[in-house]
């Protein structure tokens, strides 16, 4: 059994240099701005630019109600093999946690979950690239990712892209 040396302190275990107060403020302003943007652009219904959001909802509902991983909305319900089950399982968890399977309750909660996971992704992204790029460039790249329009489109609907972004960053 190895013991920790007496000289090890929490600061010795930190990855990369400490964050400056200005960097902390910039990251905090970015995250708070994303929350404000979420409030300003929030729409409580599914967007109809694709049917994936509705399919994720249907699969989440099937899991939450014990029907299995099936597209129960079809005339002859069949198992789904197209969509990975993680995001529908997250939606099923939301349904169980909220005690409702109604879209009016689940869609807004799923969208706020997407925003929360995106903020976590940004913080993780910044932490991952900072040792390789330096604090200033990492902050600029994080800000660019934060204002990326395509990501905001995925974050604003019930889509699996944001949870998988977070999981990809966690895997790295």
pLDDT value at residue 14: 52
Residue with more model confidence, 142 or 12:
142
pLDDT value at residue 151: 84
- Token output for 16: 């990369």
Rounded to two decimals, what is the model's pTM?
0.79
Strand residues in the chain grouped as ranges (E): 70-71, 78-79
Strand residues in 60-148 grouped as ranges (E): 70-71, 78-79
pLDDT value at residue 117: 94
Which H or E run contains 34? helix 21-41
pLDDT digits (tens, 9 = 90+) for 16-38: 568 888 888 888 888 888 888 77
pLDDT digits (tens, 9 = 90+) for 115-134: 899 999 999 999 999 999 99
In whole angstroms, give the CA distance from residue 41 to residue 149. 12
pLDDT digits (tens, 9 = 90+) for 34-47: 888 777 767 666 55
Rounded percentage of the chain residues whose pLDDT exceeds 90: 44
The full DSSP string for 38-71 is HHHH--SS--SS-SHHHHHHHHHHHHHTT--SEE
pLDDT digits (tens, 9 = 90+) for 87-113: 999 999 999 999 999 988 998 899 889
pLDDT value at residue 32: 87
CB 92 within 8 A of CB 64: yes
In whole angstroms, give the CA distance from residue 121 to residue 166. 5
* CA dihedral for 120, 123, 127, 129, sign (positive or negative): positive
């Amino acid at each position: 059994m190895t013991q920790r040396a007496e000289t090890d302190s929490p600061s010795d275990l930190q990855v990369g240099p400490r964050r400056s107060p200005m960097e902390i403020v910039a990251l905090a302003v970015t995250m708070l701005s994303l929350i404000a943007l979420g409030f300003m652009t929030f729409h409580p219904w599914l967007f109809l630019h694709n049917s994936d959001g509705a399919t994720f909802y249907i699969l989440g509902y099937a899991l939450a109600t014990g029907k299995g991983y099936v597209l129960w909305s079809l005339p002859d319900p069949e198992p789904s093999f197209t969509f990975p089950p993680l995001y529908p399982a997250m939606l099923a968890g939301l349904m169980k946690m909220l005690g409702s399977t109604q879209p009016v309750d689940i869609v807004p909660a799923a969208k706020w979950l997407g925003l929360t996971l995106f903020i976590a992704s940004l913080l993780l992204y910044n932490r991952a690239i900072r040792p390789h790029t330096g604090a200033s460039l990492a902050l600029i790249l994080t800000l660019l990712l934060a204002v990326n329009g395509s990501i905001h489109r995925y974050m604003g609907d019930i889509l699996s892209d944001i949870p998988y972004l977070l999981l990809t960053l966690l895997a790295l």
